[in-house]
Structure 1
Amino acid sequence: MAPTFVVVPQWQGSVSPRAMRLVDGAEMIRGDLPSSATEIVDVPVEAGDAIETGIHRLSTILLVRERQATVLRGVGARGTGDWALTIGGDCGVSLAAVEYASRQHPNDLALVWFDARPRLHTAESSPSGGFGGMVLRAISGEGRPELLLDPASSVPLDRIVLAGARDMDDAEADLIAEHHVPTLSTTELDTPEALLAALRTIGATRVYLHVGLDVLDPAVLTGLADLVPFGLEVDALTRLITAVRGEFTLAGATIAGFAPATIDAGNDDMSSILRIIGALTR
């Protein structure tokens, strides 16, 4: 089934110096999507307020989350069986996107988190206060109550596979060890076997794929909000996506973190991003 593309040019969850360029990245991707199958979530320009929570720009993040959820409910109401491919923006856009997929498939969703960082902080443990570093913890059902998914929609840590994470803080590493969260290095992802085995072990049938583009090496994609070396090649990522889709049902996906420095540099990266979109949708 063809997806509906939901473009969410949110930058407020990022603390990267390139955060504002995430808006440009989302717009560049939107320009190559079929307009008849694309929905746009209106993201305010203003930063927003922390509302005394320690989470930067939380008021705007909450507003965007509700607007995104409204768009996604509209996708579901059409009754065509569409799944949603969410285009960020920062990684925080996966909160509403995973919530929507989980409500479509209650108690039956596994999550592969392709990302250089696990994003497993809470407001109390975060060194930056950026929601982009907390989103996966919120998806798993922990963190500030304003951001949590309801218990029926959260994806527990034992149904999450971290793929390509190579930059994590001690608090995140301790949580991963405590809950035995499957964590696959870039070396282990050279071929799809380890990822498929991890999904089989947790009993996956339907899978949501979050693709934070910083899972890729900065040498192969220059327009990244966060530059973390020793990432995946584009070929390896597309092979992994194709292998997962070949064995499991895709319930939804996110592509986030495209922050081109210039239009020309962004154009150079677009062929790689379109290959990733193709792997998700073909």
Structure 2
Amino acid sequence: MHPFSKVDNSRTLRLVWPQWQGAGRDNISVLLPEYSYSFARRGYETGAKILDAILPPHAGPTEVVSVPDVDDEGVMGGIESRSTVFESLGNALKALDKHDAERVLTLGGECSVSVAPFSQLAAKYGDDLAVIWIDSHPDSDTTETNYNGYHAMALSTLIGHGDQEITATLPATVDSSRVAIAGLHAWEEDAYVNVDKWGIRAFSPDDLRDSTQGLVDWLKSTGASKIAIHLDVDTVDSDEAALGLGKVPGGLTTAQVQ
């Protein structure tokens, strides 16, 4: 019997969050120059809806986060579309507050959709929660780094180094000693500096190809019995399958990610 078959899905919340506004103009324009900015950016919204449609029916509660239909808001306080992602975050927190969920399955959407549910779980489980952030990128930008897309600030926000007003709305943050990035191999230098400065443990694809024992040993060292797992599909080697918005070669294979 698969261990997940014993999970009580009535206590698992499925959170569908089709937010796209966290993706920045500079990134989208470079990665998908053949499409208009507004069209390409909406790919995150489409992805969330596709995931919700193809996954098996869910026996527990489901919430769909309301996302303002606003695009190209510009940059404020170092964050593109700041007021929109802030409003959407508030909507997600309200949806989460309706349920005393033991687990949350979030379908997004760009990377910042992990912030609210992970924060809610951190408030529930405290130091007993560790985070494994499976991503080619560190998502450790801040309002002080060069890139303004909020999706690249997701992990920074979750560990308390994000925009002060946004971070203040979260029910809890996660100490960086209980956060590891798995599959990291693509970054801008100013964002990667934060990974080292904040003490986040990082595992490259080469660290994990033959064995995940190093990651398992790190997890044991945290003392946490609960894990929140973020998965960005761009972790998969784009030479095998270009699943993310941008092609990032040299990542993990689909089998290794599984």
TM-score using structure 1 length? 0.77
**Residues 213-259 of structure 1: CA deviation (Å, up to 9, x unaligned):** 11111233333123211111121111xxxxxxxxxxxxxxxxxxxxx
Please report how far the alpha carbon of residue 24 of structure 1 lies from its aligned counterpart in structure 2 after TM superposition.
1.0
Per the TM alignment, residue 67 of structure 1 is displaced from its structure 2 partner at its CA by 1.0
- 1:4 aligns to 2:13 (yes or no): yes
Equivalent position amino acid for 2:110 in 1: D
Following superposition, the deviation at residue 152 of structure 1 comes to 6.9
Q: Identity of paired residues, percent?
A: 25
AA in 1 matched with 2:93? A
Does 1:137 pair with 2:161? no
Q: Which of 130, 133, 136 in structure 2 is aligned with 1:116?
A: 136
Partner of 1:153: 172
Aligned residue-pair number: 233
Tell me: CA distance 1:194–1:35, structure 2 relative to 1, closer, same or farther (3 Å). closer
- Which shifted more, 216-225 or 133-142? 216-225
Matches within 5 A, 1:1-282: 1=7, 2=9, 3-15=12-24, 16=28, 17=32, 18-33=40-55, 34=57, 37=60, 38-47=62-71, 49=73, 52-76=76-100, 81-125=101-145, 127-149=146-168, 153-190=172-209, 191-238=211-258
CA apart distance, 1:94: 1.0
Bigger mean CA deviation after superposition, 212-221 or 98-107: 212-221
Moved more, 61-70 or 168-177: 168-177
Give the secondary structure class of the aligned counterpart of 2:208. coil
Q: For the residues of structure 1 that align with 2:143 and 2:87, how far apart are their CA atoms?
A: 19
Work out whether residues 129 and 228 of structure 2, in 8 Å CA contact, stay in contact via their aligned partners in 1.
yes
Distance 1:96 1:53 in 2: 20
AA partner of residue 148 (structure 2) = G
The residue number in structure 2 matching 1:279 is none
Is the alpha carbon distance of 1:39 and 1:152 closer, same or farther for their aligned partners in structure 2, counting shifts above 3 Å?
A: closer
Shift of the 149–112 alpha-carbon distance from structure 1 to 2, 3 Å rule, reads farther
SS at match of 1:214: helix
Question: C-alpha displacement at 1:50, in angstroms?
Answer: 5.1
Q: What amino acid sits opposite 2:238 in the alignment? A: P
Q: Tell me the alpha carbon deviations over residues 81-114 of structure 1, each in whole angstroms, 9 at most, x when there is no partner.
A: 5411001100011111111111111232111010
Deviation at 1:212, TM superposition (A): 1.0
Using the alignment, how far apart are the partners of 2:127 and 2:208 within structure 1? 27
Matched position secondary structure for 2:142: coil
CA distance in 2, matches of 1:138, 1:192: 27
Call closer, same or farther: CA 1:62–1:31 in 2, change over 3 Å.
Answer: same
Shift of 1:179: 3.6
- Whether the aligned pair in 2 keeps the contact of 1:54 and 1:123 (CA below 8 Å) is yes
In 2 relative to 1, CA 142–179 (structure 1 residues): closer, same or farther, beyond 3 Å?
closer
